[in-house]
Amino acid sequence: MPAATHAVSADVHPVSAETHPVIAGFHPDPSICRAGHDYYLATSSFEYFPGVPLFHSRDLVSWELIGNILDRPSQFPPGAGDSRGIYAPTLRHHDGRFWLITTDVSRGRGHIIVTAENPRGPWSDPVYVDGSSGIDPDIAWDDTGTCYLTWCSNDPATTGLAQAAVDPEKGILLEEPRLVWTGTGLAWPEAPHLYAVNGWWYLVIAEGGTERGHCVSVARSRSVTGPFEGAEHNPVFSHRSTRHPVQNVGHADLVQRPDGEWAAVYLGTRPRGTTPHFHVNGRETFLSGVDWVDGWPAFDESRFELPAPDHSFVEHFPAARLHPRWVSPSAVPEAITAPDHGQGICLRAASDGDDEPGMLAFRVLDHVWSATARVRLDAGSFRLALRLDSRHWCAIDATPDTIRAVLCIGGLETQLATAKPDDGDSPDDGTVTLSIEARRPSSEGPDDVALGFESREGYRTLATFDGRYLSTEVAGGFTGRVIGLQALRGTPTVQKVTYTSGP
């Protein structure tokens, strides 16, 4: 199975890591660890199954999607709902094993821990850590081998950043949780990560909420259990109230390189358009250098250069096993698909009573892009969709009789335009090629979204609209755009999917 790379070779003109994500698209809350000379990085995935995409790199600059950690319903049952499901993970390598702790906020059982000898899997079934209500868990081991769980607590007794020693094999807290820090006074102290550096324990957190006021703050203590003293110059990293093209920066995780230098990954957005400025691809993963200045971490965003990205791919679905880029917001992908004898992949229509037709989807990775799907309908009906959540999406639908463009904003669905294939717009081989594009904006939104299809006369645009209506600033939530394939009726066969990065 080919790997999904998020950068191209270094002979392409480089771009700055200060303004370009190292992992593009809806990949927030990054957590990173190193094993030898190999780096591994995991991100939040919310309602999408399989959950927690896992990336590998040897240089921090070029990353490869190697799988999804929560790839079985026994680890993460699908159907969590919009912006629910899997929140921020922490990924660590300790004592020869890989450990991931995260929170499935839809289940109400606290944090879950899974482990693996090989990061490519298989990963264990989850161990639940009861008695640790909240989000954003971190695990760290001291010199005695004791494991400490630190998290953003929603318990009234420990509102802020709580901590307790834990048995990570059994998920049992070994002591009563204690409050270790409430941050600097900004809203939403969360995303704690602990590091032992030069005789100090550093507690790095996010504050200000994950919108424009987001930032990184840090405190330190001689003991892993505190008391922690905040840096006088907190926050140590933020783009709030600036014109920087990357906003919402925060939720950082640090890693030490083999040469002793340090780096950090963090989330950010790339808003466009007029006020309030709109971001559409969700929160992405960025990379920064880190220096230690007077005993505190200092972020150097100019440290790294990245190869100019090209995320284009063509998918013919040649293998029975799907590429790890393919996810679903409401189902196990294999439950709504079947190989079609080397001719593509069959999609199964949703059952009666389902809130949303089963969707096979992949993340949008660029500002300007185009996506096409060539489909054999076989008397069924098919949808190519651009989805932000279940109430904010657009689509181009095809039946043997009609092609129509549809837009849904806040649950209000409207038909934008239709075409009749029997008027001469349909190919003779029983297939149809549908298209969605994100173009440079003609107004003050982030982009123009165009819905169209291939006719006998060539490409035909059926409808175009302002992309702000499929942005987080309009819809809310924590995810980003995905491109989805759906069977509305019958079992249409998708023969080919093409995604092309724009200039």
Range 468-477 average pLDDT: 98
404 and 417 Cβ atoms separated by less than 8 Å: yes
Q: What is the pLDDT of residue 9?
A: 36
pLDDT tens-digit map of 88-127: 999 999 999 999 999 999 988 879 999 999 999 999 999 9
- Report the C-alpha gap between 98 and 66 in whole angstroms: 15
pLDDT of 259 > 80? The answer is yes
Question: Over pLDDT 90: what percentage of the chain?
Answer: 86
Q: pLDDT-based confidence at 428, cuts 50/70/90? A: low
- Of 132-141, 342-351, 448-457, 465-474, the range with the lowest mean pLDDT is 342-351
Kindly list the catalytic residues.
29, 190
From 15-29, 42-56, 151-165, the region with the lowest mean pLDDT: 151-165
Q: Structural domains in the chain?
A: 15-306 (2.115.10.20), 313-501 (2.60.120.200)
Residue 12: predicted pLDDT:
53
pLDDT score of 266 more than 90: yes
Amino acid 8: pLDDT: 36
User: Per-residue b/e over 271-292, b at no fewer than 16 CB within 10 Å?
Assistant: bbbeeebbbbbbbbbbbbbbee
The residues pairing with 432 across neighbouring beta strands, listed in sequence order, are: 375
494: nearest Cα among 310, 322, 351, 312 = 322
Q: What's the pLDDT at 55?
A: 99
Residue 6: predicted pLDDT: 42
> Which residue carries 């640090």 as its tokens?
254
pLDDT at 370 over 70: yes
Taking residues 349-358, what's their average pLDDT? 69
- Give the C-alpha distances (Å, rounded to integers) separating 180 from 175, 352, 472: 14, 50, 33
Q: Report pLDDT for 427.
A: 54
pLDDT in tens, 166-186: 999 999 999 999 999 999 999
Residue 430, pLDDT score: 80
Sequence-separated (6 or more) residues with CB below 8 Å from residue 59: none
Mean of per-residue pLDDT scores for the chain: 94
Bridge partners (DSSP) listed for residue 161: 152, 181
Which band of pLDDT confidence, cut at 50, 70 and 90, is reported for residue 10? very low
Question: What would the 3-class secondary structure string for 258-327 be?
Answer: CCCCEEEEEEEECCECCCCCECCCCCEEEEEEEEEECCEEEEECCCCEEECCCCCEEECCCCCCCCCCCE
Confidence of residue 5 (pLDDT cuts 50, 70, 90): very low
- At 353, the pLDDT band (50, 70, 90 cuts) reads low
- Using pLDDT thresholds of 50, 70 and 90, give the confidence band for residue 379: confident
pLDDT at 64 over 80: yes
